[in-house]
Structure 1
Amino acid sequence: MPRYEFRCRSCGDTFEVNRPMAEADRPAPCPQGHADTVKLLSTVALTGRGGAASTGGIPTGGGCCGGACGC
């Protein structure tokens, strides 16, 4: 079941709600009972198989130029 993150405009609390996708746009009161909440946009990082699909599974250096510049 998807998890949606909300923020209360009254108290500033951030909280999560598990609910079906069909109810994604339904308002959610904060745990403190305030009704003025907003659903936050979440970013989800998805990678290919094993997390290194673009390198064929071979680990690479890192940094700004693949680790070759020593930065």
Structure 2
Amino acid sequence: MPRYEYRCRTCDDTFELSRPMAESSAPAACPEGHQDTVKLLSAVAVGGTATATARSAAPASSGGGCCGGGCCG
């Protein structure tokens, strides 16, 4: 189940709730019981590095498109 982050406008506390995606926009009371809350936008970061094998396995561009077809400069 997805976790959503909210901020209480009354006490300025931030908190998370696990709830179905269909309820992500539903009002959420803060842990102190205040009702004036706002859902925060979350930035999801996926870390990791590509290995040399994975990079070399990508097919080379054979043209087409502006930067691959030589129409630039």
- TM-score by length of structure 1 reads 0.68
**Quick check: which has more Rg, 1 or 2?**
2
Unaligned runs of 5+ in 1: 59-71
Amino acid in structure 2 at the alignment position of 1:9: R
Instruction: Give % identity.
Output: 67
- TM-score by length of structure 2 reads 0.67
Name the SS for the 2:35 alignment partner: coil
Q: Deviations over 1:13-41 (max 9, x none)?
A: 10000001111110100000100000000
Q: Separation in 2 of the partners of 1:27 and 1:17?
A: 11
Aligned length: 52
Deviation, 1:52, is 1.4
Q: Separation in 2 of the partners of 1:17 and 1:37?
A: 12
Unaligned runs of 5+ in 2: 53-73
Deviation, 1:46, is 1.9
Q: Separation in 1 of the partners of 2:12 and 2:29?
A: 12
